[in-house]
Amino acid sequence: MERIESCVRQFEAGRMSRRQFVKRLTGLGLSASLVSTILAASSSRASADTPVKGGRLRIGFTEGSQKEHWDPARRYSRMMNGRNNSVYNTLIDVNSELKPEPALAESWDSNDAADEWVFKIRKGVEFHDGRSLRAEDVVFSISRVMDPDLGSGGKSFVSDIEDIRVEDPHTVRIKLQSANVDFPMFFGADFLHIIPEGTSDFSTANGTGPFKVEFFEAGRSALVVRNPNYWKSGLPHLDEVETFAISDDVARLNALISGDIHCLQGLSPTLVDKVKDTTGLELLSTPSGYRVPAIMRTDTPPYDDPNVRLALKLLIDREKYNQIVYRGLSTVGNDHPVGQIYPEYCDEIPIREYDPDQAKSLLKKAGYLDHTFELLVSTVGIGALEGAQVYSQMAAAAGVNVKVVRVPTDGFWDAVWMVKPFHWAHWSMRSTANLQLAVAFKSDSSWNDTFWYKDDFDKLLLEARATFDEARRKELYCAMQQMVRDDAGQIIPAFPNIIDAVSSNVKNITLHPLGSLGNLKIQNDCWLEA
């Protein structure tokens, strides 16, 4: 009952679309007739508030980095991603239903083979310095991400581009090495924000977004102010947005309760009840493909041994783990990144069961039965600390020693992720299953954090991009999920809901499965009620 009431409150406050609302209630087991009744009643009460102009929105994030800068192709933190969404735009936007919508590209089309695409660039758009947006800026921005020397995490999204060129001042033509029926969705990726041609200084930002940079100190805070020449009519509603990192979960919630911030990104599941019991706060819980996995570097002993990797995956009672760590606000993971929210999810693959006897047998075979596995963890990721501890306890019950070592959140992405052989991290959801698989497991991805390289996997990934036939696509995605589950180096016990919290006076938030706080874009549309 409580989960139904939460959905009703979020729908009536305009934080959930009609389709999301119906899907969520149906997923909770309600009949179609009852869902229709609730929908009708809620629709009549749904907020029709008039937008309020002005004010400064303050957002507290879980993490920052001293290496932050305004280069969207090389962002270092989730906080920087939110800031980039304030000052830049992408070619397309991915809506909450995971469908592409026009942004800086007002339309797109392909040939019949889906290996050549034409994007029409919106006219009348200006960068913050007054320059007009041109096709040359788009080509420059995408070409930078394609450059292997840049080391952008977005390279895997555009690595299949064979040629990109300006056809006229507002038309870009892209030739792919192979067909890709999902290709426009790639341009909603946060690495592919559009910047002016020739940009090399990223101490500040010069974008086309709703806000302009006023102040910035890496790792600490930033202030952006309204762009009076923003191309979306009537937006933004806010005058200013201030962002800063508060890495401690309790301190971040206390800042929300005291009114020091209006929005909290990344609420620990242990604090959900506190939010529910506090007048003036709203809990935002969004089912997603977001994951908080344990990362094993498959190029480093002992994790280069498939027996060790499989053994460590067998040490989790997944249903119990989800109840303890996420209080049931999650779906069970199966050691591959395609969660149940995707249409490509393969329900034919059985969920891996807790099997301590087989785990110990595999570790004995590999010669690591008495080994102490050192697992590094910080507050990066929803439920990461508690999850690592629960995992360690489950392993101990099986006679396997997993030693949890807490490391600082500040600098985690520089000193731990893709550096240490066994650590807890987190991954945002991507807009398509293909992207979700590609960015973490494709051999040429610069974010392949398990260092798992398989040519046969890469071939399946490319074939899936070129396949229109739904039955064949299902086969391909099932095969890839099976490969990653059985052999790759991410232990994925759960897909936690994205859990955030906001003050009740923050209005016009649309929940989004791709990320916290409306995919880190609430500042672009919300307003502060007086």
- 309 and 448 assigned to the same domain: yes
Largest CA distance in the chain: 66
> Taking 60 as the threshold, does the pLDDT of residue 40 lie above it?
no
**pLDDT at residue 41, rounded to an integer:** 47
Which residues have a Cβ under 8 Å from the Cβ of 449 and sit 6 or more positions away?
A: 295, 297, 417, 418, 425, 440, 490
* pLDDT tens per residue across span 311-338: 999 999 999 999 999 999 999 999 999 9
Using one digit for the tens of pLDDT, what is the confidence trace for 249-260? 999 999 999 999
CATH of the domain at 183: 3.90.76.10
pLDDT of residue 17: 60
pLDDT band at 37 (very low <50, low <70, confident <90, very high): very low
Same domain flag for 146 and 186: yes
* Amino acid identity at 120: K
Judge if 446 and 377 occupy the same domain: yes
Q: What are phi and psi of 224, to 5 degrees?
A: -120, 150
Helix (H) or strand (E) holding 357: helix 356-366
Q: Give the pair of three-digit tokens for residue 71.
A: 């280069």
Same domain, 492 and 502: no
pLDDT in tens, 45-83: 455 578 999 999 999 999 888 889 999 999 768 899 999
Q: How many domains does the chain have?
A: 4
Residue 93: domain span: 89-192
In the block, tokens 């209006």 appear at 262
Give yes or no for residue 88 having a pLDDT over 60: yes
Higher pLDDT, residue 485 or 66: 485
pLDDT band at 530 (very low <50, low <70, confident <90, very high): confident
CB atoms within 10 A of CB 296: 27
8 A C-beta contact, residue 294 and residue 394: no
Mean pLDDT within 355-365: 97
Are residue 327 and residue 472 in the same domain, yes or no?
Answer: yes
State yes or no: pLDDT of 463 exceeds 50: yes
Q: Are 334 and 352 in contact (CB under 8 A)?
A: yes
Q: Given this model, what pLDDT does residue 219 score? A: 82
Within this chain, do residues 136 and 245 fall inside the same structural domain, yes or no? no
Whether residues 435 and 367 fall in one domain: yes
Are 498 and 382 in contact by the 8 Å Cβ rule? The answer is yes
Show the CA angle centred on residue 499, arms to residues 437 and 91, nearest 5°. 50
Do 444 and 342 lie in one domain? The reply is yes
- Cα atoms found within 13 Å of the Cα of residue 20, Cβ hemisphere only: 22
pTM for this one? Answer: 0.78
Looking at the domain assignment, is residue 10 inside a domain?
A: yes
Whether the Cβ atoms of residue 363 and residue 311 lie closer than 8 Å to each other: yes
Rounded to whole angstroms, how far apart are CA atoms 373 and 104?
Answer: 48
In a domain, 199, yes or no: no
Q: Note the pLDDT of residue 77.
A: 82
Asked if omega into 102 is within 30° of 0 (cis), the reply is no
pLDDT at 274 over 50: yes
> Quick one: 306 and 319 in the same domain?
yes
Residues 466 and 333 occupy one common structural domain = yes
pLDDT computed for residue 25 by the predictor? 67
* Domain assignment of residue 243, yes or no: yes
pLDDT computed for residue 2 by the predictor: 53
Residue 176 CB contacts under 8 Å (≥ 6 apart), including other chains: 114, 115, 116, 117, 160, 161, 162, 183
Same-domain check for residues 375 and 475: yes
